[in-house]
Structure 1
C-alpha cells in the first residue's frame, strides 16, 4: 500500500497560485516518488482554482433504457452515471454543468480526465528497483473531489471518476440502490474510504473512524469485506467534506488532504533542514567508536554513509555503524538481533533517516523519535499520531505504518525515543 497527499483549502494561499489545498501520497515515498515526479504522476498535487468552472451536479434521471438515456451515455459532452440493475434495466443519471465548483479526478488511469495519477507501491521501497509491478487494486477512475469556487472553498469527495467519454458505469455486480428521494447511489468495487482526524491535524490530533464514501458522496460504515456487495449502514451525522488531515484510501494508495491553512502551520523543508543542521551541530557521538555522527543531506535517501547514525530499536541508543555485539547467524547479521553495548538490550539495529515529507508532521518540534522497524525520524507528536492510525492494507486488514515508507510498524509502540550521546569534550 502506498500513500499520497492532497492539499486543499484556501484558493488564495501560500501553497501555490490560488491553491485550494494539496493532496500528498501519504505513506510511502519520503518526499518523492521512486522514479521522481513526472507530469500528473507525482507525490503531491495542489488543487488550484480553475480558469473556468468544470464542476457537475446531478440533473435528469432516466429510469429505463430510453432513447434519451442512450443519448446521454453516447454524448461525449454530457456527463452521466449508469447504474445497471439487471441485463434489461439500467438507470442513467445525467449530470449538468455547475458554475460554482471545480472538479478534480484521481485514479490509476493516465487518460486526460485524471488530474492526479496514483499507482500502487511496494511498502518500504526507496528506489525504482524496489518497486515491483503488482496487480493493482486501485481503480482507473477512483474518485473525484469537488471544490467550491468561493469561500470557504469547501472540498467534497465522491467515489468514482468520469472516464474519457464523461461516463461512470456501475455494473451488475457493484453495490447500488435507490434512495428514498428516488435518486440512485452505489459503491465502487474496492471502495473509497475516508478518515477525518479528531481535533484536526494538530498536536492534539486523534484518529477518527474509517468510513466509506458512495458515488453520490454519502457516508457509510465499512462493508464486511472491501468488495462485498452489501453496503454498510448510512451515517447521516457525518459528511464527505474533507478537513485538514483527512485520509483517503483508494485500496492501494492512501492520500492525505492538507488545507492551505493547515499547511501554513506545518514545518517547511527549510525548517526540517535547519533541525538536521542543529542536530549535527551538537556533534552527537558513537559511544563505542567515539566518532562524530551526522544525519546526511535530505536528498540522500538510499544508502547509509560512514557518519550515519544507527539505532538499537529495543532501547533507542544511537550509535555509528559498528560490528560490536553482532552474531554470526546470517539473518541476525542483517540487523535483526544486535546487543546494545550500552544497556545489553537485544533487537533490530538500523540506520536512521530523517522523514522528508514536511506535510506529515503535526508540529515543528525537533526530530527526537524513530519509527520501528524502518528508522525514519520525526517529532514525538508526529510519531505518536501515525503509530495510532490503522491504515487499510490490501482488501482485508488494517495496520499502523510509517508515513514516510509505508512499512508496517512493529514493537510495543511502533516507535522509540532516541538517546544521543554528546561529545566527551
Structure 2
C-alpha cells in the first residue's frame, strides 16, 4: 500500500502539479551553509496527495479561559480571539477537500512546511546551529492556500496553525469584528504583500505595499509594524498571489513565482551559458592586460566566503564609472577603507571598487537578457531590465523603513546610483 506522500507520484507519466515557488530574497541560489530539509532559499509548492486545506465553520463565544482550552484540545483547527480576560471568540475550521495549505514561519515544528529565518543584509544568514535571538519573524508567520483545481489560485493569510492546530490572537493583538459578524485580526509584526503592476515582466512596475489579515483581507499599512490600530480596508484588492508578488515577514522577504511564470524565467543552464559567453569573449584588465573570468555559479552563490586575490581572474569594477578591471591595490583615496574610494586608471573617476559576482538565482530575473549591469554597492551582476526593476522596489526594512535592495544579497542600494552599466575591454590581440 502506498503512503499518502507517494500517491501523487505513482504514475511515471503523471507530473505532479506545481502551484509555484517561494524564493527568499538575499540568497544567491542557496543558503550560506547549503539548503537542508525545510530550511532552504526556495520552496516549491506541489499539489498534495491528499487535500489538507481548512475553512471556517463553527463560531463559539466563550466567557471563561478554561472553555477556550477545552476547544483547543479538539482535533479541529481553530483560531482564538481573546477579547478580554472573560471573553474569547473561537472560530473552528473544518476540512476543505478543494484546497492545499502550506505554512511558513521561523518554527521548526511539524506544521511548518518552509522554515524561514532572518535574512542578514549582505548575503549572510542564520546557520543551522545558530540560536535565533530577538527575531522579528513570527514562529507561525503565514499560510498559503492553493486551490487544487485549475487555475490553482494561491491565496495568502497572516498567521499559521501551531502543533495544536490553533492560532491564538492574545489581548494585545489587533483584532476586530467585521460588519458581517466574522472576527479578524493582525499578527504582531504583520504580513505585508506587494503585487507588481503588470505581472513579473519587462514592463512591470512596483505596486503598493499592503497588510494581509488572518482571514485574508487587505488593509493599508499600520503606522508602524506592531501598532495596535489596523489600517483601512482595501476592498478593491485581494490576497490572491500573482507572479512576482512579494511577501514580507518582518525579517525576511519572499518572492512568489507561479509555475507559469517560472516556465518563462531563465534557467540555471541559461545563466551558466551567459557566464561562459562572457568568459569566452576574454575580457581583459585594461591596465594589467590579464584575461578576466567570472567565477563558477557555485562560487558566486558563496561569494562572501571568497576573498579574491591579485592572481585571481575575478573581475572587479569601479562602480562610479563602470570600468571593469582585474584586482589591483593602487589608487587608494582612503587608508581606513581602501576599496571605498579608488580612482579609476581609465577615466580618473573616484568611487567604490568591488568584485563582480553573477546573480545566479534565476527567479529574480524578469528577462533572459545578458548580464550587463551591477548593483551598487554590492557588485551583483544581472540583466539591465532586472537591475532597473529591483532598483525601483522599496523593500520593507525594520519596523517602518523602506529602501531598494539587491535581491541577491539584500544590501541597500545607493540612493544616488543604484546600478552601474559595466564597461568591459576586449582582448587587444
Of the structure 1 ranges 179-188 and 303-312, higher mean CA displacement relative to structure 2 is found in: 303-312
Deviation at 1:135, TM superposition (A): 1.7
1:342 is matched with 346
Instruction: Provide the residue aligned with 1:110 in structure 2.
Output: 108
Give the Cα separation in 1 of the matches to 2:276 and 2:116. Answer: 33
- Whether the aligned pair in 2 keeps the contact of 1:120 and 1:134 (CA below 8 Å) is no
1:264-299 per-position Cα deviation (integer Å, ceiling 9, x unaligned): 110000000000000101011111111111101111
For residues 260 and 135 of structure 2, what CA distance do their matches in structure 1 show?
34
Secondary structure in structure 2 of the residue aligned to 1:275: helix
Distance in 2, Cα, partners of 1:402 & 1:132: 26
Trace 1:11-410 onto structure 2 (pairs within 5 A): 17-25=16-24, 27-65=25-63, 69-75=68-74, 77-126=75-124, 133-300=132-299, 301=303, 302-303=305-306, 304=308, 306-327=312-333, 329-333=334-338, 335-410=339-414
Alpha-carbon spacing, 1:412–1:132, altered in 2? closer, same or farther (3 Å): farther
CA distance in 1 between partners of 2:47 and 2:63 (Å): 37
CA contact (8 A) 1:122 1:132 kept: no
What whole-Å deviation, never above 9, does each CA across 1:13-71 have from its counterpart, x for those lacking one?
Answer: xxx7321111111x211110012111111111110011111000001111223787553
Aligned mates of 1:413, 1:60 — CA distance in 2: 55
TM-score when normalising by structure 2: 0.92
Give the 3-state SS of the residue equivalent to 2:297 in structure 1.
Answer: coil
Q: Return 5+ residue gaps in structure 2 as ranges.
A: 1-14
**Structure 1 runs of 4+ off > 3 angstroms?**
65-71, 125-129, 131-134
Residue 332 of structure 1, CA deviation: 3.4
Q: Residue 390 of structure 1 contacts residue 400 of structure 1 at CA under 8 Å; is this kept in 2? A: yes
Structure 1 stretch displaced more, 317-326 or 151-160: 317-326
**How far 1:330 sits from its partner (Å)?**
2.5
**What is the distance in 2 between the residues matched to 1:68 and 1:332?**
63
Unaligned segments of structure 1, at least 5 residues: 1-15
User: Structure 1 residues 393, 110: CA separation in 2 closer, same or farther (over 3 Å shift)?
Assistant: same
What is the CA deviation profile of residues 134-180 of structure 1, one whole-angstrom value per residue up to 9, with x for unaligned ones? 42000000000110000000000000000000000000000000011
Could you say what secondary structure the match of 1:277 adopts?
helix
Q: Are the equivalent residues in 2 in contact too, given 1:324–1:341 (CA < 8 A)? A: no
With structure 1 as the length reference, what TM-score do the two structures score? 0.93
User: Would the alpha carbon gap of residues 119 and 72 (structure 1) be closer, same or farther in structure 2, given more than 3 Å must change?
Assistant: same
Do the aligned residues in 2 keep the contact of 1:332 with 1:338 (CA within 8 Å)? no
- The structural deviation recorded for 1:411 is 4.5
Q: SS in structure 1 opposite 2:291?
A: coil
Tell me what 1:12 maps to: none
- 1:125 Cα offset (Å): 3.3
* Number of aligned residue pairs: 406
- Which one has more relative contact order, counting CA pairs under 8 Å at least 6 apart? 1
**Residue by residue, what CA displacement relative to the aligned partner does 1:307-327 show, whole Å, maximum 9, x if unpaired?**
011000101010011123124
CA RMSD of aligned residues (A): 1.7
